[in-house]
Amino acid sequence: MLQVHQIKDNYETVLSGLAKRNFPNAENILQQVLEIDQKRRDTQLERDQLQAESNSISKKIGQYMQQGKKEDADKIKLRTGEIKGLIKDLETRYSIAEEELKQLLYTIPNIPHSSVPAGKTPEDNQVVLENGNIPQLYEGRLPHWDLIKKYDIIDFDLGVKIAGAGFPVYKGKGARLQRALINFFLNEAAQQGYMEVQPPILVNEESGYATGQLPDKEGQMYLATADNLYLIPTAEVPITNLYRDVILSQSDFPIKNVGFTPCFRREAGSWGAHVRGLNRLHQFDKVEIVQITHPDKSYEALEDMSLYVQSLLQKLGLPYRVLRLCGGDMGFTSALTYDMEVYSAAQERWLEVSSVSNFETYQSNRLKLRFKGEEKKTTTLAHTLNGSALALPRIVASILENNQTEKGIRMPEVLIPYLGFEWID
């Protein structure tokens, strides 16, 4: 979340950034933040003044007692009792203001980086680059939801029987393709210096708040109500929370983690042809990369992460493009996001397969994730970043559709050592 001093010291910048996001009632909410913060500060000042008075009276009581002036000491003791009651009341008021301020700050999204374009919808996103040639398929080409039936590699009906819509069952070469992609992505990340971790796939409420999934995406997460634990929507949540309440040293940077997990999203309200088949699921597999960096290095790290994700798409032989998301299409916690989309030749449309984002200090402020500088006298908030590298469903859909022939589906050469076969036929 934003820090109060950010709002106070850069009011106009914050206001214009929220306007770029089309955030409603921004000025009114910012004014509420400043008013509550001032009330909190005034309460703290009054409490400190009373505590100073109490300390002074205690010293006088000691002096009177030493001088044998018990009667004078008893008189001013009455004031100390009164002060204790006032301090207790002020501490309660301070706690209420603190919580009110925190809950209000939770509702304010991150401020976009200066390079983020204004806009309201995905149509306003900027195409940064395109790479690769769109394959020319044979006349009888099929979308992936027909290919998986033809070759019996993914079964949606079995998933409905076991769990419900959006929970496919991968079979035979379909299951092996999933496993091959996961291992390929993890091995590639390891070669780029990412340390692999295997985190829990259930997180507590505090972890959800720390990375910004709560309260923003509460309705999109599955909740195990008996234990008040959430199924993760992405490995970003547990991996980033490894560093909650941690003070790092400047020499620790950059911290680079990668993890494979299943991901769970309710996707409430999603329907239509654009979410058919593997295009949108309630459960899917994803390999996630997370970096924690020095603030001076985070945008350099973001560009490196973008290039890394692009290298995976290049090795898979998939045509792709990179988008810089506009203010209205960016995630709540992000300061700058690049989306990577691959072209589905059978569906004749672009499919998002990765988002790479810099959150600057937005998450680390919630996480209380700080580092000590070279002088080690003060601590500073670190910057956090994450990206999909990669989400599997639409990658699988694009591989199946773009590599289909009349003979069968040719597998990308880079995956063959992981698969043990060259064709799905």
Same domain, 99 and 173: no
Residue 159 and residue 99 in one domain: no
- CATH code of 96's domain: 1.10.287
Nearest to 396 by CA among 373, 381, 415, 378: 415
267 with 349, same domain?
yes
Whether the Cβ atoms of residue 256 and residue 288 lie closer than 8 Å to each other: no
What residues form the annotated binding site for ATP?
265-267, 352-355
Q: Is residue 115 part of a domain?
A: no
Nearest to 315 by CA among 132, 128, 129: 132
Domain containing residue 223: 122-424
Quick one: 209 and 255 in the same domain? Answer: yes
* pLDDT, tens digit (0-9, with 9 covering 90-100), for 352-385: 999 999 999 999 999 999 999 877 678 999 999 9
Identify the CATH number of the domain in which residue 355 sits: 3.30.930.10
- Of 72, 106, 140, the residue that ends a domain is 106
Q: Is there a single domain that holds both residue 207 and residue 339?
A: yes
Least confident of 57-61, 157-161, 254-258: 57-61
Rounded to whole angstroms, the Cα distance separating 83 from 183 reads 65
Q: 155 and 42, same structural domain?
A: no
Among 106, 138, 164, where does a domain finish? 106
Report whether pLDDT(14) > 90: yes
Residue-level pLDDT at 378: 87
86 lies in the same domain as 215? no
Establish whether the linkage from the previous residue to 24 is cis, with ω within 30° of 0: no
Task: Assess if residue 340 is contained within a domain.
Answer: yes
Q: Residues forming the annotated binding site?
A: 234, 265-267, 288, 352-355, 386
Place of tokens 């301020």: 101
Quick count: other Cβ atoms within 10 Å of Cβ 193? Answer: 9
- Taking 70 as the threshold, does the pLDDT of residue 151 lie above it? yes
Could you tell me if 197 and 286 lie in one domain? yes
Helix (H, G, I), strand (E, B) or coil at 154: strand
Q: What pLDDT sits at residue 72?
A: 82
Q: What is the Cα–Cα distance from 200 to 202, expressed in whole angstroms? A: 5
DSSP string covering 48-73, please?
A: HHHHHHHHHHHHHHHHHHHTT-HHHH
The total number of structural domains in the chain stands at 2
Q: Is the bond preceding 122 in cis, omega lying within 30 degrees of 0? A: no
Q: Do 80 and 129 belong together in one domain?
A: no
Positions at the binding site for L-serine:
234, 265, 288, 386
Tokens 């204790």 correspond to what residue? 84
What's the pLDDT at 268?
Answer: 60
Query: What is the reported pTM?
Result: 0.92
